[in-house]
Structure formats: structure tokens, C-alpha cells
């Protein structure tokens, strides 16, 4: 374990979630109508560039420390994958589809979800915004998995050791950091995001591959963008 690893963990696991949490807390009561289409698109590319930059830092540190990329999860892992891990990921898909139904399964639910999307302000409301949003969705699907699963779980597993408490901590700490980074979506959403992160983390710890998680994470974000476009597009 090198000094660069400790610095990266401090930046990504402590400082960044804290900054995102407190900035989101300040913005929660701002007027969502201030978000013009130009501002939304700038946010998509700005946040995407930040995520790619952070991911590049991790890969550079990993490479120059002489560690193989498969140890970061950028391989196909222990195939065939652990049955329990596959079942956990399947359970997530089922829970996610249930959550989509609960958010959009009736006119009342769709209206409540539309109001929540409108409150956040930055989600896509038309086809042009959605096409730009796809860049952020793919970026988050790839980069957040490298940051919060690949790097942070690997780091904590090595630091905390193989004990049951160490393994649980290596699973939960990145999930909480990931959730705090999404506080702008509201407390209820953060709870769901933390649960998602725990399930994804469990799969990673059992399989040591990020590719299925990247694909699934990207699909979730893209579907969220489609839902936002569908609901907010009615206001256009």
C-alpha cells in the first residue's frame, strides 16, 4: 500500500462525498426553474469530465505501482461467478424494476415523481438534453464503479484485512460514501442508492469484476434519464 493510495482514498472516500453532501444541502431549496437547457448540458459534461479525471488518477496510480488492472476489477474476474453474487445482482434488478413501477405505475405516482424530478432541476426534459445526458450516464456507469467499487473496496480490503468486520466495513463504507455523493436526490433516494451500492459491492467482492456492474449501472442511469424525459417533457 502506497502513500498515493491513502491520499486517493482521503480525496475520494472522505473529502469528495463531504463536499458533495454539503453543497447539495445548500442547493436543496434553490429554485429549480433556474436550470436552463444550456446549464444542464454544461453540468453533464462538467461532472462527466470530473469523473473521468478521478478515474484516470486511480488508473495512473494503479499502473505505476505495478499492480495488474484485473486487481482493480478491470478483468472478467472469477468466472463462473459465485451463485450467491449472481442471485444478489438478480435481486437488485427485481427491486429496481419494482421501484420504477412504484414511481411510475399510476398517474398519481407519475405526478409525484415528476414533481421530484422538477425539484432537482437538472434532469433531461427533451430529446436534446437526453442525448447529452447519455454522456454522463455512461460516464457514471463506468467511472463510479471504478472509484467506489474497484478502488475503494480494494483499498479497504487490504487496509482492514480479511476479518468479518473488515469485510463488512470494506463493503459498507464505500456504499455510504457513494450515497452521500448523491444527497442532491433526497434522503429517500440516498437510502436506495446505498442499498444498490451494497449489493453491487457484494457482487464485486465475490467476483472481482466490474464489467457487469458498469453495464447495469449505465442501464439504470439511462432508464432514469428516459423516465425524466418522459415526465418532464410534458412541461415543455
Mean pLDDT for 114-137 is 93
Q: 27 pLDDT band (50/70/90 cuts)?
A: low
Q: Which three cell numbers stand for residue 75?
A: 478483468
How far is residue 118's CA from residue 105's CA, in Å, rounded to a whole number?
18
Q: 233 pLDDT band (50/70/90 cuts)?
A: confident
Q: State the pLDDT at residue 103.
A: 87
Place of cell 417533457: 233
* 8 Å CB contact between 203 and 87: no
How far is residue 91's CA from residue 81's CA, in Å, rounded to a whole number?
15
How far is residue 108's CA from residue 71's CA, in Å, rounded to a whole number?
47
Q: 2 pLDDT band (50/70/90 cuts)?
A: confident
Q: Which three cell numbers stand for residue 70?
A: 484485473
Phi, psi for 184 (deg, rounded to 5): -60, -20
Lowest mean pLDDT of 48-52, 95-99, 119-123, 141-145, name the range.
Answer: 119-123
Place of cell 415543455: 236
Q: 21 pLDDT band (50/70/90 cuts)?
A: confident
Q: Which three cell numbers stand for residue 131?
A: 442525448
Share of the chain above pLDDT 70, in %: 95
Closest to 197 in 3D by CA, of 37, 82, 68, 89: 89
Q: State the pLDDT at residue 28.
A: 61
Amino acid at each position: 500500500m502506497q502513500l498515493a493510495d491513502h491520499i486517493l482514498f482521503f480525496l475520494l472516500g472522505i473529502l469528495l462525498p463531504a463536499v458533495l453532501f454539503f453543497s447539495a444541502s445548500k442547493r436543496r431549496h434553490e429554485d429549480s426553474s433556474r436550470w436552463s437547457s444550456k446549464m444542464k448540458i454544461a453540468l453533464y459534461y462538467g461532472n462527466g469530465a470530473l469523473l473521468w479525471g478521478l478515474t484516470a488518477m486511480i488508473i495512473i496510480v494503479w499502473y505505476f505501482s505495478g499492480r495488474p488492472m484485473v486487481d482493480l476489477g478491470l478483468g472478467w474476474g472469477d468466472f463462473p461467478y459465485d451463485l450467491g453474487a449472481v442471485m444478489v445482482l438478480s435481486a437488485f434488478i427485481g427491486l429496481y424494476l419494482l421501484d420504477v413501477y412504484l414511481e411510475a405505475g399510476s398517474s398519481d405516482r407519475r405526478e409525484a415523481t415528476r414533481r421530484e424530478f422538477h425539484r432537482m432541476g437538472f434532469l433531461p426534459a427533451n430529446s436534446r438534453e437526453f442525448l447529452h445526458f447519455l454522456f454522463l450516464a455512461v460516464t457514471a456507469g463506468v467511472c463510479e464503479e471504478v472509484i467506489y467499487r474497484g478502488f475503494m473496496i480494494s483499498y479497504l480490503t487490504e487496509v482492514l484485512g480479511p476479518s468479518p468486520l473488515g469485510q463488512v466495513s470494506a463493503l459498507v463504507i464505500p456504499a455510504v460514501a457513494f450515497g452521500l455523493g448523491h444527497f442532491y436526490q433526497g434522503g429517500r433516494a440516498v437510502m436506495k442508492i446505498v442499498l444498490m451500492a451494497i449489493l453491487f459491492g457484494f457482487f464485486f467482492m465475490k467476483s472481482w469484476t466490474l464489467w457487469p456492474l458498469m453495464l447495469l449501472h449505465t442501464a439504470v442511469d439511462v432508464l432514469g434519464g428516459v423516465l425524466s424525459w418522459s415526465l418532464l417533457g410534458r412541461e415543455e
